Amino acid sequence: MPIPLLAMDLLTFIWIVAGLLAMFTALSVVVLSLTWLERKLLGRLQRRLGPTRTGPMGLMQPIADALKLILKEDIIPTSSEKAIFWVAPILVVVPAFMIWVTIPGTENLVLSNLEDLGLFYIIAFSVVGILGLVLAGWGSANKYGTIGGLRAAAQLISYEIPIIMVVIAVSMLAGTLNMVEIVEKQASYPYALILPLGFVIFFIAGLAEVGRTPFDIYFAESEIVGGPFIEYSGAHWSVFFLAEYINTFAVAALTVLLFLGGWSGPFLSGDWDILWFLAKVYLVIMVIFWIRGTFPRLRIDQLMAFAWKVMVPLSFYAIVITAVYLFYGWPEWSLTLMSLAGLLVVGYSIYRRFAGPSSQAAQVRARYQALEARTGQ
């Protein structure tokens, strides 16, 4: 009896290792494709061509960049905390990979189906990544690195709250925390149409969680010259940005699963489900890259004020209107109207604050116009 059990355990272990290696390989290929796509898209936005020399259409440029980073010398500062300096990249990249253990690509394509615990698992591992960024800044023994690490902790914890609250609203709407069942509940309409407020909150907070523009404040080159990554070079430096692209892909995938119907498509279902899923994910990622090429970086005070004064109250409002909708059994369009009303009120308030007649910019323009009028006289 012990022999079959031992053989089964060995087969299970081999299966798990093979699955993890396949996931690592697939995500590495995805990261290479994302770096190429981002550079080409940003080039087009800036009226350039992007990579063109290395391979056809520059397709080999990501591989050349990866080889360059791997072969570069790793320099460890003498004043750094050596153990922490080495451990920090591991604490950042391992959670980025492990998040994908529970993210389904189709109904049957998931490495480990934790059923109702999958979303909690993802949130828990994202917190470990925050710890890695803090340790990277502290272990480098550099003042800019420490500031960047503290900024990362403040930013990521602040924007974690709206994400958790929106996940609660979506789970209330679907009646489950199982991501496969959430996708199945969107067979008729994606939740982005039923709860557009939650979709906007989740997407914006997701950008902040992965440090994409305009929320890249914790490694802002113009302010803190790289933040927690300032003393890292070569392969160690590349590990952080490998984790960033994997997390970006994860945020896009979760956005698709929770709000855009997952792998559901208007036609060609079944074997085509994975293609629908990847098409939606890459479309969301292209929007993220477009935002990088369009919007400026926020200041740290603006970023934190936006989290606590706008995102957290809005996410609480999303839970309230979802609860009211479910309690009274109203039609779905009522939840859509309440969501749009919240977005319009907040959007108009932001417009009044930054671009309206009482904004600081309008006051500065009025003073300059008055000065020009006096000078002209």
CB 244 within 8 A of CB 325: no
Q: State the pLDDT at residue 231.
A: 82
Per-residue pLDDT band at 85 (split at 50, 70, 90): confident
DSSP-assigned letters across all residues of 290-310:
HHHTTSPPPPHHHHHHHIIII
Q: How far apart are CA 274 and CA 264, in angstroms?
A: 9
Structure token digits, residue 117: 């615990």
Average pLDDT of the chain is 84
- Degrees (nearest 5) of the Cα angle 99, 152, 317? 75
C-alpha closest to that of 310 among 364, 350, 271: 350
- The string of pLDDT tens digits covering residues 20-44 is 788 888 888 888 889 898 888 888 8
The residue type found at 149 is G
pLDDT at 1: 44
pLDDT digits (tens, 9 = 90+) for 334-375: 989 999 998 898 888 877 777 666 666 667 777 777 777 777
Q: Does residue 234 come out as left (phi exceeding 0), alpha (psi in the -120 to 50 range) or beta?
A: left
Q: Which of 2-6, 247-251, 258-262, 296-300 has the lowest mean pLDDT?
A: 2-6
Mean pLDDT of 258-265: 86
Angle at 119 between CA 116 and CA 125, to 5 degrees: 130
- Residue 87 CB-density burial (10 A; 0-12 exposed, 13-18 middle, 19+ buried): middle
Q: Which amino acid is at 203?
A: F
pLDDT at 163 over 80: yes
Alpha-carbon gap, residue 150 to 137, rounded angstroms: 8
